Structure 1
Amino acid sequence: MSVLVKICGLKTPESVEAALAGGADMVGFVFFDKSPRYIDLAVARKLSAQVGGQAEKVALVVDADDARIAAIIDALAPDWLQLHGNEPPERVASLRAFGRPILKAIGVSEKADLSRAVAYEGVVDRLLFDAKPPKGAVLPGGNGLTFDWTLIHDYAAGGAKKEWMLSGGLSTENIGEAILLTGAPGVDVSSGVETAPGEKSVEKILAFIAAARQPTSLGLAGGSV
Structure 2
Amino acid sequence: MLVKFCGATTAAEVRGVADAGADLVGLWHQVPAGRAELSAQRLAGLAAAARATGRLQPVLVTFGSDVEALARLTAGGGPWWIQLHGYQPPATVRALRALVPDGVRIVKVLHVQGASCVEAGLIGAYERAGTDCFLLDAVTADGRIGSTALPLKQATVTALADRMARPFLLAGGLSADNAGRFRGAVAHPRFLGIDVDSAARGPGGLLAEAHAAAVATAWRTP
TM-score under structure 1 length normalisation: 0.83
Are residues 1:200 and 2:207 paired?
Answer: yes
Provide the residue aligned with 1:85 in structure 2. Answer: 86
The equivalent position to 2:25 in structure 1, one of 9, 14, 27, is 27
1:150 alignment partner AA? A
Are residues 1:101 and 2:102 paired?
Answer: no
TM-score under structure 2 length normalisation: 0.84
Q: Residue 134 of structure 1: CA displacement?
A: 3.3
The equivalent position to 2:170 in structure 1, one of 162, 166, 169, is 166
Are residues 1:58 and 2:59 paired?
Answer: yes
The equivalent position to 1:133 in structure 2, one of 129, 132, 140, is 140
Q: Secondary structure at the match of 2:36?
A: coil
Q: Relative to structure 2, which stretch is displaced further, 72-81 or 140-149?
A: 72-81
Instruction: Tell me, in whole angstroms, the C-alpha distance in 2 between the residues paired with 1:62 and 1:150.
Output: 27
Provide the residue aligned with 2:6 in structure 1. Answer: 8
Q: What runs of 5+ residues in structure 2 fail to find an aligned partner?
A: none
Q: Secondary structure at the match of 1:103?
A: strand
Are residues 1:155 and 2:149 paired?
Answer: no
- Give aligned pairs, total: 209
Q: Secondary structure at the match of 1:173?
A: coil
Provide the residue aligned with 1:46 in structure 2. Answer: 45
Q: Residue 47 of structure 1: CA displacement?
A: 1.7
Provide the residue aligned with 1:211 in structure 2. Answer: 218
1:152 alignment partner AA? V
**Distance change (3 Å), C-alpha of 1:75 and 1:34:** farther
**Distance change (3 Å), C-alpha of 1:66 and 1:35:** same
Q: Secondary structure at the match of 1:130?
A: strand
**Aligned 8 A contact 1:133 1:141 in 2:** no
2:185 alignment partner AA? T
Q: Secondary structure at the match of 1:199?
A: coil
Q: Secondary structure at the match of 1:121?
A: helix
**Aligned 8 A contact 1:44 1:76 in 2:** no
Q: What runs of 5+ residues in structure 1 fail to find an aligned partner?
A: 216-225
The equivalent position to 1:142 in structure 2, one of 120, 140, 147, is 147
Instruction: Tell me, in whole angstroms, the C-alpha distance in 2 between the residues paired with 1:27 and 1:20.
Output: 8
Task: Give the % identical residues.
Answer: 28
Moved over 6 A (4+): none
The equivalent position to 2:196 in structure 1, one of 177, 183, 189, is 189
**Aligned 8 A contact 1:30 1:38 in 2:** yes
Q: Residue 198 of structure 1: CA displacement?
A: 5.3
